[in-house]
Structure 1
């Protein structure tokens, strides 16, 4: 494997962190400042999430078959950024919905493409270590851009975030160009055992894999509980008169979690062989109910510190353990990225419904009630993972 290409891949992971999510938690603040209500914001965020959800599986299939993954990823980054920048100029329901749909569809390709490029560069045996580095750089990128975004929000308001995203998109494209296309083995990138492997199992092999489906269902519930928690924390501050600067608050929530995720991502890649996938994912699932319950107890801005520390722990573990587990699970199938997309489809279903559900509960009752419901949903994810221990325990150790 080429050291230059792997270094460029790490830089791509660093800069793409700010591109893929668009405005991220700043979207809720931006729309709130333009007099949108929480339930309307949640609904439109759900529309964008559903659009991405519908293209998640095709994104994995296309990634498996594509031999031009770098070019495809570069084009999609440009589309996401353009759609996000256009939000500055229009606030009408239909146009905002259309732009969020475009961003959601484009963002659905980023995960499979990054996984495919990584696997194509490292092969099966080097994947776990490299995906840990990718995640660490990705979180470091989120940390730095959140730090800059907080400063921009403090001095110029949320509008400065749009400029920041344009800059990180340019840097992402430069990093992608530094990855040598010839270093990417397209057979390895889809999970084939060797360059000479001729037989590729039928696509239906994915839906016959019970461990893959249990993983997807568990993460569906996890993200139903998790996806709206951070935006709703920021919206609770934005809707409270005389509270702290909401843009600065949103940046702080991101910074805290990213600082935790960076060392966790690095450590987890080295702990998979020792503890196995099942135990590490169980640990992440245990964290989420506690995090949501803490958010429900008080609206004091200081509570975001333990809430986001826990977020960093859970996300740092899952960001490495889940894709590594799926690559190991589907080894030799030729459908690794499609398998990643099956799980992404299911967790995306939970994530896309989360803002609408939480926004509706917060609008009719309170933010505290909404966070309490999220804690209960997270407990359901934990129970499912525990219930299907026999299905997953055989796959706990790395081969």
Structure 2
């Protein structure tokens, strides 16, 4: 089936602008609340509430997206929720509105992410999903990198609240991009899925006990447990060594991986389609122990930029392979988004533990020991993939996959 250029481009720009919107809820929240005379304890509580909401919402939000036939409406609801959250932050930085904004953003994001993945699947079918997810990741990375720079300048030279007014404004092109995706282009794949009346919906208990799902969830948890704390820990060391140049180096450490992700993500998707999922997972996950080792021994601050390029490889792998593996493991069950929510929960748990654990080891022993520990966790991720993760790439011919 031929997909119109309009729908393909609409999905490209949807990913681009959604990344712009989500960037506004990163570190800028802490900076903004600091200018509003919030204490570190109050800021920490607000951010933790948002993180906890996102973690707890992963599975129910995925189930909600699975339950509706109207994936575009689900994505629209997520965008409108983020719009309201941004307006609350910008216009009313009091305690209750800020906490409500964090909760609203956490849940809306958990609806938006699987909705975009579901739209991608409906648009191109399973046979072309790998490359489509890579293209999604490319545009999201470009959007995030550009938005971080623009919002940093706006927050510095206009006003901290301007970041969130811009975030709210960027939901408008996001909605326009979403509406430009034609329902008719998704109809064939959606009809094929719905026509499989004989296919089991998949009991939740059976899904959660599936070997592939459990192993990949374990890999996702170990990935973020290893990865999340590496840059913050390296940033502390760079600040001590580089002084006034630290902000420039850290900014480069954020931008370089984003550019790598944008450059290689479609190739990662094609490789997963051609050579199988395990090859790509092993390639991407192997960057974690290597990066941990290099961060433990590298002393020159600017060398950190080269080390961070490895983060781009591993990030591209996880961003493409998480929804692709979920699609593989839930074929014919109508549990794709629920599975993505389960994987997202594993990612969130790993990331939440990572920074506290690494900080404790760095304080108790040394930063070098903390990097070695994080690299060791990354090695466990590689070994789990090598020894236990099944190959999930379907062996059916492409024409059968397109109708799956």
**Short-chain TM bin:** 0.7 to 0.9
Deviates more, 1:19-28 or 1:4-13: 19-28
Alignment of 1:219-238 (within 5 A): 219-231=220-232
Task: Show structure 1 runs of 5+ residues with no match.
Answer: none
Q: Tell me the equivalent position of 2:119.
A: 117
In the TM superposition, what are the counterparts of 1:154-165 in structure 2 within 5 Å? 155-156=157-158, 161-165=163-167
Is the counterpart of residue 102 in structure 1 residue 85 in structure 2? no
Deviation larger for 87-96 or 220-229: 87-96
TM-score normalised to structure 2 length? 0.82
Note the C-alpha offset of 1:93: 7.6
Please report how far the alpha carbon of residue 229 of structure 1 lies from its aligned counterpart in structure 2 after TM superposition.
Answer: 3.6
- Residue 346 in 1 paired to residue 336 in 2? no
Q: How does 1:323-334 map to 2 (within 5 A)?
A: 323-334=323-334
Q: Which residue of 2 aligns with 1:308?
A: 308
Deviation at 1:382, TM superposition (A): 2.0
Matched positions, count = 392
Alignment-derived partner of residue 335 in structure 2:
335
The equivalent residue for 2:208 is 207
How far residue 345 of structure 1 moved from its aligned partner, in angstroms, is 2.0
Counterpart CA distance in 1 for 2:271 and 2:235 is: 34
Structure 1 CA distance, aligned partners of 2:48 and 2:372? 20
Measure, in 1, the Cα distance between the counterparts of 2:230 and 2:96.
25
With over 3 angstroms needed to count, the CA separation of the structure-2 counterparts of 1:71 and 1:333, relative to structure 1, is closer
Tell me which residue corresponds to 2:388. Answer: 388
Map residues 246-265 of structure 1 onto 2, 5 A cutoff.
246=247, 251-265=251-265
Does residue 12 (structure 1) correspond to residue 24 (structure 2)? The answer is no
1:184 alignment partner, one of 186, 211, 226:
186
Relative to structure 1, is the Cα distance of residues 88 and 240 closer, same or farther in structure 2, using a 3 angstrom cutoff?
A: farther
Give the TM-score taking structure 1 as reference length. Answer: 0.83
Distance 1:41 1:238 in 2: 22
Distance in 1 (CA, whole Å) between partners of 2:239 and 2:24 is 19
Preserved contact between residue 15 and residue 139 of structure 2 (Cα < 8 Å): yes
- Output the CA distance in 2 between the equivalents of 1:223 and 1:85: 31
Q: Secondary structure at the match of 1:109?
A: helix
Matched, 1:74 2:76: yes
Cα 1:275–1:187 change in 2 (3 A) is: closer
Gapped regions of structure 2 (runs ≥ 5): 397-404
Going from structure 1 to structure 2, the CA distance change for 1:312 and 1:157 (only over 3 Å counts) comes to farther
1:277 alignment partner in structure 2:
277
The alpha carbon displacement at 1:261 in A equals: 0.6
Would the aligned equivalents of 2:220 and 2:347 in 1 still touch at CA under 8 Å?
yes
How far 1:321 moved relative to its partner? 2.5
2:402 counterpart residue number = none
Cα separation, partners in 2 of 1:92 and 1:164, compared to 1, 3 Å? closer
Measure the CA separation in 2 of the matches of 1:273 and 1:212. 19
Q: CA, structure 1 residues 226+85, in 2 after alignment: closer, same or farther (shift >3 Å)?
A: farther
Contact 2:241 2:301 in 1 (8 A): no
Q: Write the distance in 2 (CA, Å) between the matches of 1:91 and 1:289.
A: 41
Structure 2 CA distance for aligned equivalents of residues 84 and 362 of structure 1: 36
Distance in 2 between residues matched to 1:300 and 1:83, nearest whole Å: 41
Please, which moves more after superposition, 322-331 or 79-88? Answer: 79-88
What's the RMSD between the two structures over aligned residues? 3.5
Q: How far apart, CA to CA, are the structure 1 residues paired with 2:379 and 2:218?
A: 13
Cα distance in 2 for residues equivalent to 1:239 and 1:78 = 42
> How far is the alpha carbon of 1:276 from its aligned partner?
1.0
Q: Within 5 Å, which residues of 2 pair with 1:17-166?
A: 17-27=19-29, 45-84=47-86, 86-87=88-89, 98-152=100-154, 155-156=157-158, 161-166=163-168
Matches within 5 A, 1:161-172: 161-172=163-174
Q: Could you say which structure has the larger radius of gyration? A: 2
Tell me what 2:399 maps to.
none
Q: Structure 2 vs 1, CA of residues 364 and 95 (structure 1 numbering), >3 Å: closer, same or farther?
A: farther
Alignment partner, residue 2 of structure 1: 4
- The answer as to whether partners of 2:261 and 2:315 remain within 8 angstroms in 1 is yes
Q: Do the aligned residues in 1 keep the contact of 2:138 with 2:261 (CA within 8 Å)?
A: yes
Change (3 A) 1:65 1:397: closer
Shift of 1:80: 2.5
Cα pair 2:61 2:110 within 8 Å, conserved: yes
